[in-house]
Amino acid sequence: MKTLTKTISVLSLALAFFLTSFISFAEVNENKDKTFDPKKMSSGLTFDLDHMSQAPLNFRLDIRQPENHLVNVTIYDTNGKEVYSSFTSKTEISQLFNVSGLGYGEYTVEIATLGEVASDKIVLEKPEFMRPKAFIKESEKIKNKVTIVSLNTDSTVKIKIHDQDNKLVYYDSYFVNDYRDHLDLSFLPKGEYTISLESKNLSETQKVTVE
């Protein structure tokens, strides 16, 4: 079975969008047990989007049509910017997209044929181990010591401590992807406090007691 492969690069904010396309449908066997759940157009064309479980920055577009009509495939990123467009007239194709140059997010795939336009969306989410996380934990052995950990952050993280009257008594910030530090709270008067870690993609709070 003949396979035609091509790679296309489209610059988007200095990022590359790479495409490896037109693999015979019979040769795409990942998730082969998945039920085909297509969008159907009046021409009889059906199309379906599928996540690739082993490659979270990849998705597959399957198209089937009864006749060799010209089909335009266009992809838009989360901001509605066109990042890819091509034409095909094959009756059955499976097209693999690698968007590692653009990143995670929501993509809209638009299909146009015979004057009709239909679209569907696919959301590519970061794997759990890559998502931002934060932990605040009081030491069980050392009095008034707190451990602060943040992982996978891509923006400034603010550390704030408020007393029981909600007055800000401590502030610091850092911009590190993975961060771990120990805070000695002995400088604070005895009482209850709330420690918070905040950034654009994470928020964590913990109540602590200074003795």
Q: CATH 2.60.40.3080 in the chain: give the residue spans.
A: 7-124, 128-210
DSSP annotation of 30: T
CATH architecture of 128-210: Sandwich (2.60)
Alpha-helical (H) ranges within the chain are none
Q: What is the assigned CATH class of domain 7-124?
A: mainly beta
Calpha distance 96→61 (Å, rounded): 6
Calpha distance 124→52 (Å, rounded): 10
Q: What is the residue type of 191?
A: G
Give per-residue pLDDT as tens, 10-36. 333 223 333 333 333 333 334 444 444
pLDDT computed for residue 37 by the predictor: 58
Calpha distance 88→78 (Å, rounded): 24
C-alpha neighbours within 13 Å on the C-beta side of residue 20: 10
- Of all residues in the chain, the percent with pLDDT exceeding 70 is 82
SS3 129: helix
Alpha carbon distances (Å) from 30 to 34, 88, 197: 9, 23, 40
Calpha distance 72→59 (Å, rounded): 18
Give per-residue pLDDT as tens, 173-185. 988 888 888 999 9
Maximum Cα interatomic distance, the chain, rounded to a whole number of Å = 78
Q: What is the residue type of 111?
A: I
The phi-psi region of residue 103 (left if phi > 0; otherwise alpha if psi is between -120 and 50; otherwise beta) is left
Calpha distance 187→190 (Å, rounded): 9
For 77-96, what is the mean pLDDT?
94
